[in-house]
Amino acid sequence: MDPLLDTAPCGFLSFSDDGSVIAVNTTLREWLGYASDTMQGHSIETLLPVGSRIFYQTHFFPLLKISGKVEEVYLSIRTADGGDLPVLVNAVRHERNGITVNDCVLMVVRQRNKFEDEILRTRQALSEHKVHIETLNQHLQQAMTETHHRVKNSLQVISALVDMQIGIGAETVPISELKRLSQHIRALAAIHDILTHQTKDGGEAEKISIQLTLENLQPLLQGMMAGRGLTFQVEDVAVPLRQATSLAILTNELVSNAIKHGRGDVGIVFTRQENQGRFEVWDEGEGFPVGFDPLLSANTGVELVETISRFDLQGEITYENRDQGGARIVVVFPLQHPDMH
Amino acid sequence: MPQNVLVRNNVRVFGNGAQPLLFAHGFGCDQNMWRFLTPAFEEEYRVVLFDYVGAGKSDLSCYSPERYGSLDGYAQDVLDICEALNLSDVIFVGHSVSGVIGMLASIRAPHRFDRLVLIGPSPRYLNDLPDYVGGFEREDIAGLLEMMEKNYMGWAHYLAPVVMGNPEKPGMSAELEQSFCSTDPVIARRFAEVTFYGDNRSDLPKVSAPSLILQCAQDLIAPVEVGHYLHRELTDSTLRLMEATGHCPHMSHPEETIREMKAYLSAAPRSNHR
């Protein structure tokens, strides 16, 4: 071998098409830790760790054979003591002394290799982040759609309340009715408050706790009580948002009726009986007069209560007097689960 | 549609014979790898060459990770080409993983195939000890994937979107034409995984087409044990142990490969029963 090539600061290796090593320069032999003249005749594949071997057979050799050369191919080479040496290889095919040989020049790329490993790791991490961000973005878009949907529902409830008022056909609206309306709007706002917290904590916004809904209404209701007692007896059940909204308006309406027509304390009771919810508002007043017919009492409040109970909640409503005195309105309705839709 | 398949898979047809000789390249390459064999066959056969979708000059925009997430998708490429060219009585020549791809295609459309020539085939590259020696452990394949990743490094970033099905792929084909054995790194990686983590041993008894297994000496990718295993499991198979070493005898030892193929194809007269 040319003495310049033999000790040049790069590895040199020549192999035949059947893969046997024909020549190796001293530089490469020393890198790999072989004694002199022990490498000739070795199969080139024995110098490669398994991953590099497959790459050699599936990429390196076919490319070299077809194009006559390869450039800047990264390979890992096995040293005599079993270590791995990362190298960049350039190779060309030549006819020499009547046979075809493949001449390779190798450069060790330890430092560059570390750097490239780092880049690959970073790229891997980046692509994972990207997937994560895309998922988050999807959730966000979904949440936005849902939010708009909910706001629209609430606005529809408000417009239905206003329409009922218009339906009466009077030229003017009593202040008391506007107060009621404002009370309902605030009840809806309270529900949106709960939703804000719920989604902030990463929880689902499809269902909402009845207890939480009524608790959030409490300050609103308390404000109407004018010193009278308000008691809660509420079993906690998670219900679909629509039912919670209906219950909030219903509570508002029934409590304000109890304040207006009844006396003493007012109570709110909610219990669950298997798949049914039982919602009750009581007071300690005179109770309903004999022969009370809700359908005959032309009153927007009662009409609203009827609509919500029978249509929105798909429930049954009863107006009765309590044994211990006072009125009681009970709505029994099927508890819906969002996943049953 | 047939025209599309021919473009999609960069199909080339030539030769003076009638019986189709369909060459299917293996993992890592494209149809160029057959150039040392085809001159010996074009007088007598109708030579058909192609690139799998994702390889060579195929239409990368036709790649879908679902379809090509198993070798069945690649077998479908073979069947699509057979249908587009209305091929029957096909002698299928497959290198490495294409051996299995050809078997899968022949199981699904036996009427199209006359015989299979399998060069360095393997139905499973991973060891399943103690009963099966495939040659590799999972970490070896991880080493290959890393090697591929390092070598695809320079251009990995801008090709990545193609896998998503970028319809326009501006200027890309021109870029790729120069780089034989190169393809979109994401596609290549998936092909490597599908190839080297796959297990098609249970398909072998379903193959009815006669086959020639060309087994190289010292083939580290498809070791001789695998050749014997295939010979046992494939009905009507002929095993030839070659002097050629390595995994690509059609490139490293084309003369011997041609000799073996011709000996097999002329010894067993062309079957007309299909």
Distance, in angstroms, between A7 CA and closest chain B CA? 28
Q: Is residue A59 part of a domain?
A: yes
Establish whether B77 is a catalytic residue. no
What pLDDT does residue A297 have?
67
Contacts 24+ apart (CB under 8 A), A336-339: A336/A239, A336/A240, A336/A242, A336/A243, A337/A207, A337/A240, A338/A206, A338/A207, A338/A240
Pick the last residue of a domain from A108, A131, A162.
Answer: A108
pLDDT of residue B7: 95
Q: What is the CATH number of the domain that holds A265?
A: 3.30.565.10
Q: Could you tell me which residue, A333 or B267, shows the higher pLDDT?
A: A333
**Confidence check: pLDDT of B168 > 80:** no
Q: Give the mean pLDDT of chain B.
A: 86
Cα–Cα distances in angstroms (integers) from residue B237 to residues B98, B198, B211, B214, in the given order? 16, 22, 5, 11
Could you tell me if residue A121 is inside a domain?
no
Same-domain status, A247 and A332: yes
Show the domain range for B21: 2-267
Query: Looking at the 3D structure of chain A, how many domains does it have?
Result: 2
Cβ-based burial of A82 (10 A; exposed 0-12, middle 13-18, buried ≥19): exposed
φ/ψ of A100, rounded to 5, equals -85, 130
One domain for residues A163 and A283: yes
CATH number at A18 reads: 3.30.450.20
Q: Which residue among A90, A108, A126 closes a domain?
A: A108
In a domain, A320, yes or no: yes
- The order of strands in the sheet holding B113-119 is B12-14, B46-49, B20-24, B90-95, B113-119, B211-217, B237-245
Which is higher by pLDDT, A257 or B132? B132
Q: Which residue has the higher pLDDT, B175 or B103?
A: B103
Find the catalytic residue in B219, B237, B250, B253: B219
CB contact under 8 A, B181 and A49: no
**Which domain covers residue A12, as residue numbers?**
3-108
- The pLDDT tens digits of the residues spanning A8-29 come to 999 999 999 888 999 999 999 9
* CA distances from residue B197 to A228, B65, B133 in whole angstroms, order as listed: 75, 16, 14
pLDDT at A192: 86
pLDDT of B156 > 50? The answer is no
Residue A204: what pLDDT?
63
Residue B13 belongs to some domain of the structure: yes
Its ipTM equals: 0.81
Residues A230 and A327 in one domain: yes
Instruction: Return the amino acid letter for A224.
Output: M
Residue A153 sits in the same domain as residue A286: yes
Output the pLDDT for position A338.
Answer: 42
Read off the amino acid at residue A137: N
Determine the distance in angstroms separating the CA of B187 from the nearest CA of chain A, rounded to an integer.
15
Q: Is residue A120 part of a domain?
A: no
Q: What is the mean pLDDT of residues A260-268?
A: 89
Strand partners, A70: A91
B28-74 pLDDT, tens digit per residue, is: 888 988 999 999 999 999 999 999 998 888 998 899 999 999 999 99
**pLDDT at residue A149, rounded to an integer:** 84
Q: Based on the structure, what is the number of domains in chain B?
A: 1
Structure confidence at residue B158 as a pLDDT band (50, 70, 90): very low
Q: Please tell me which of the candidates A19, A50, A59 has its beta carbon nearest to residue B28.
A: A59
SS3 assignment, position A119: helix
CB B45 within 8 A of CB B87: no
The two tokens of residue B73 are: 């998708």
- Contact criterion met (CB < 8 Å) for A116 and B150: yes
Please tell me whether residues A173 and A318 are part of one structural domain.
yes
With beta carbons under 8 A apart, name residues in chain B contacting A123.
Answer: 156-157
Do A81 and A155 lie in a common domain? no
Residue B4 or B158, more confident: B4
Rounded-to-integer distance, Cα B9 and Cα A37, Å: 48
A170 with A289, same domain: the answer is: yes
- Mutate: best of A57, A66, A112, A114, partner B, most B CBs <10 A: A57
Q: Please, are residues B159 and B153 in contact by the beta-carbon 8 Å criterion?
A: no
Instruction: Please check whether residues A98 and A199 belong to one and the same domain.
Output: no
Q: Does any domain span residue A137?
A: no
Catalytic residue check, B247 = yes
The confidence band for A90, taking pLDDT boundaries of 50, 70 and 90, is: very high
Q: From CA B90, how far away is CA B81, in angstroms rounded?
A: 11
Do the domain assignments include residue B262?
yes
- Pair A275, A200 in one domain: yes
| Binding-site residues on chain A for chain B (CB distance < 8 A) | 17-19, 43, 45, 49-55, 57-59, 61-63, 65-67, 73-76, 113, 116, 119-120, 123
Q: Name the residue in chain B with its Cα closest to that of A55.
A: B144
> Is B237 annotated as catalytic?
no
Q: Which tokens belong to A238?
A: 């998670």
Using the predicted structure, report yes or no on whether residue B176 has a pLDDT greater than 80. no
pLDDT tens digits, B237-260: 999 999 998 899 999 899 999 999
CATH code of residue B225: 3.40.50.1820
DSSP state of A289: P
Residue A122 has pLDDT above 50, yes or no: yes
The pLDDT, as a whole number, for residue A11 is: 96
Sign of the dihedral defined by the CA atoms of residues A131, A133, A136, A140, in that order? negative
pLDDT reading at A104 higher than 60: yes
Same domain, A243 and A313: yes
- Residues A316, A230: one domain? yes
| Most B CBs within 10 Å, among A18, A47, A58, to test the B interface | A58
| pLDDT value for B174 | 37
Residue B20 resides in a domain: yes
Out of A85, A108, A131, a domain closes at A108
| Residue B272 in domain | no
Average pLDDT over residues A85-107: 94
Chain B: nearest CA to A182, how far in angstroms?
Answer: 53
